A and B are shown apart, each in its own frame.
Chain A
Amino acid sequence: MTRGELMAYLVIVAVVLLLAFAVPKPISFSTTVSYIIVGFIALVLLIIFVRTIQGNMVGRRIVFLFVGMAVILPLFMTISQPIPLSPEVKQVYDAVVALKPGSKVLVSFDYDPPSAPELQPMAETFFRLCLSRDLKIVIMGLWPQGPQQAEIAMRKTLEYPEIASKNLRYGIDYVNLGFQTGNEFVIQRMGGDFKSMFPTDLNGTAYDSLPLVRNVRNFSNIDYAFHLSAGYPGTVEWVQVAVDRYGLKMGAGNTAVQTTQMYPYLRARQLVGLLGGLNGAAEFERAADMIGKATKFMVSQSFSHIIVIAFIIIGNAAFFLGDKSRKRKQEAAGGGH
């Protein structure tokens, strides 16, 4: 470890201790202060643009710094942004509200903590919407940490006053069957018999001892399925096996990375609704009128996108204008000889 590194670590520790113990909490910028900050950042970007055209290139750390500011600062701001509702998100909402009270909804949690910022808000809103409409939820996961994410989402959902007042009971109103290894082969076997893949729930209770699923034999006993996916096994496998082979009616919530891959399934009506990334989660919160973290995060998301676009413009301007000025200089140098 160099002396410079050691100094940097000490500075970080000092800043952290300052933020943790000396700064009054929570911090919130008023709308005016928020707009002043945005204006200041825009001004600095303009200066960077001009300097870049003049040939003074920006280091990658400056880009990181701006992206970091664009993500962090809006978390303290009180400004909001309009979130238009797309047809694919409305489809999920419509499918849920069309279900009669007591209908059984299967939710498969096929993601792990790294994808939680995008998918956890979807899960929480979906649970809240289902439970507020007296639907029964059957949870499972093809990823080992999926059912644990479901537990976190369910715990949070049960704390909402309108849900807490219903005195919902585990095993009757919702059940977590846990994780099962085997990827798409699990889905395949569930098409014949759920119990063969989930002989017990997450807590080790026998399948037949759970009133909610005792009579659920296969997909034909499920009224709607919602799938949260971050990769393989994911929505593709669910569509191929559960939807196309067994006729399950299913919507999906995906990380943004794989959303474009799902649109053909949506167009072909293999999926009944699709939530794509954080934007999809925010739209779903709006559709259900249950504003949560996704809506709050969208301001940071938009700011960071603007910064990325700004630096793409700056980079391209530097490339093309710099190229022209280089040619001019070369021509001038050639003319002089």
Chain B
Amino acid sequence: MEIFGTWLAAFFTLGIISFLYRDNAWYKLCESIFVGISAGYWFVTLFWDNIHGLFWERITERHDYWLLIGASLGLMMLLRLIPPIGWISRWPLSFVVGATAGLYIINYFASNVMVQVENTLMPLFSAKFGDPLFSASPYSIVGNIVVAAGTFTGLVYFFFSKEHKGAFGGMAKIGIWTIMITFGASFGYTVMSRMSLLIGRMDFIFGDWLGLIR
């Protein structure tokens, strides 16, 4: 059975890779099967984990009747399918939007704003506030300067109430360069990630399937 699974996986891998040459029947077959299986897998997973696991089991076994409120909101969401009373679906939607926004504002503000701002406002040449000047390592000093200057000039670039001219324009230019370097680093990592996936597949084809790699 395992051998059959390996050959099947190899068949689909080669089918998908064949698109690199051009669109063809083999690729279309593999793509359609993948889409169908993915949709089926997610439907079954969400049904058993959410509706059965988190709702039905808890109602019947633990008598957690508070969940009926959530279930009612879920049913109301489905009323969009009946146009005359579709407006009712706005209520659960507004609940979801409100609750999610409330939670995210707190989480993001605490973790992605406050802590990050605190760590940008660091002494440039010392390990921490109160330490003597140049007590930090050269690596840290360079890092601190790059972070502080990059953040400041990046913010300057997004300040549109003043024309980007003269010294202000120069800082904005440094800001956009900083942003571009960040995008470049991100893209480099993305290339690495995609190559890793290809390496994994090739290792499967030539190692697990054909057994050519030691």
Q: Which residues of B contact A330 (CB under 8 A)?
A: none
Contact A268 B116 (CB under 8 A): yes
Chain A residues near B210 (CB-CB < 8 A): 16, 19-20, 25
Contacts A72-B202, A75-B203, A181-B53; A26 near B193 (Cβ below 8 A): no
Q: Is the CB of A181 within 8 A of B195?
A: no
Q: Is the beta-carbon distance between A270 and B111 smaller than 8 angstroms?
A: yes
- Interface of chain A: mostly helix, strand, loop or mixed: helix
Give me the interface of B with A, judged by CB distance under 8 Å: 14, 18, 20-21, 24-26, 45-46, 49-50, 53-54, 103, 107-108, 110-112, 115-116, 118-119, 147, 182, 185-186, 189-193, 195-203, 206-207, 209-214
Which of A27, A71, A116 interacts with B213 by CB under 8 Å? A27
Of chain A, the residue at the smallest CB distance from B25 is: A1
CA distance in complex: A210, B198 (Å): 40
Mark A residues whose CB is within 8 Å of B.
1, 5, 8-9, 12, 16, 19-20, 23, 25-28, 61, 64, 67-68, 71-72, 75-76, 114-118, 144, 179-182, 184, 239-241, 243-245, 255-257, 259-260, 264-265, 267-270, 276-279, 293, 297, 300-301, 304-305, 308
Query: How far in angstroms is the closest Cβ of chain A from B201?
Result: 8
By beta carbon, the residue of chain B nearest A74 is B199
Are B45 and A144 in touch, CB under 8 angstroms? yes
- Whole-angstrom CA separation of A305 from B187 in the bound complex: 12
Which of A71, A76, A240, A264 lies in contact with B212, CB distance below 8 A? A76
Number of A-B contacts (CB under 8 A): 143
> Which residues on the A side are within 8 Å of B209 (C-beta)?
20
> CB distance A75 to B119 under 8 Å?
no
The answer to whether A279 and B202 touch across the interface, beta carbons within 8 angstroms, is no
Q: Which residues of B lie under 8 Å from residue A67 when comparing CB positions?
A: 195, 198
Q: Indicate if the CB atoms of B214 and A239 lie closer than 8 Å.
A: no
Known contacts A268-B115, A268-B118; A5 and B196 CB within 8 A of each other: no
Using Cβ atoms and an 8 Å threshold, which residues of chain A touch B182? 260
Inside 8 A of A114's CB, which chain B residues have their CB?
197
- B41 CB, min distance to chain A CBs, angstroms: 8
List of A residues within 8 angstroms of B14 by Cβ = 12, 16
**Which residue from B111, B147, B207, B211 sits with its C-beta under 8 Å from A267?**
B147
B203 shortest CB reach to chain A, Å: 6
Within the complex, the shortest CB–CB distance from A29 to chain B, in Å, comes to 11
Cα–Cα, bound, A308→B50 (Å): 44
Residues of B within 8 A of A239 (CB): 111
Would you call B196 and A268 a contact (CB within 8 A)?
no
Q: Are B212 and A27 in contact (CB under 8 A)?
A: yes
| 27 pairs, A vs B, C-beta closer than 8 Å | A1-B25, A12-B18, A19-B212, A23-B212, A26-B213, A27-B213, A67-B195, A71-B199, A71-B202, A75-B202, A76-B212, A117-B196, A117-B199, A184-B103, A184-B107, A239-B111, A240-B111, A244-B110, A244-B111, A255-B196, A260-B182, A268-B115, A277-B196, A300-B202, A304-B199, A305-B195, A308-B195
Specify which chain B residues have a CB less than 8 angstroms from the CB of A184 in the assembled complex.
Answer: 103, 107
Which of A28, A240, A269, A304 touches B195 (beta carbons < 8 Å)?
A304
CA distance A152 to B196 in the complex (A): 19
Contacts beyond the supplied A75-B206, A278-B192: 5 A-B pairs with Cβ under 8 Å: A26-B213, A26-B214, A67-B198, A184-B103, A270-B115
By the criterion CB–CB under 8 Å, are A257 and B49 in contact? no
